[in-house]
Amino acid sequence: MAEAIERIPQHRHCYVCGRAFVGEGRYCSDACKTKKTAELKSSKRKLLIIWAAAVALMIIGIAAYGYL
């Protein structure tokens, strides 16, 4: 029975789709790499907008408190 077990070669799993692949890197294809890059850019943009809104609200709050 031990002879019937098939050996699985060393492999990695893609960070985007989870598919197993043999080779270097984090992604199985350029399409997955492009998709992840776009997702990261979108996340960074959203975070920047949130930080800018928070800073703007603090400035407005400080300015409004100064008029009291």
Please tell me the predicted confidence (pLDDT) of residue 7: 83
Show the beta-strand stretches assigned E in 1-68.
Answer: 12-13, 20-21
28 exposure class (CB count in 10 Å sphere: 0-12, 13-18, 19+)? buried
**Which domain covers residue 48, as residue numbers?**
2-66
Q: What percent of the chain has pLDDT over 90?
A: 78
Specify the number of domains making up the chain: 1
3-state secondary structure of 20: strand
Please tell me the predicted confidence (pLDDT) of residue 5: 73
Mean pLDDT throughout 3-29?
Answer: 88
CB of 19 within 8 A of CB of 27?
Answer: no
Is a pLDDT exceeding 70 seen at residue 1? no
Please tell me the predicted confidence (pLDDT) of residue 4: 66
CB neighbour list of residue 16: distance below 8 Å, 6 or more residues apart = 27, 28, 32, 33, 35, 36
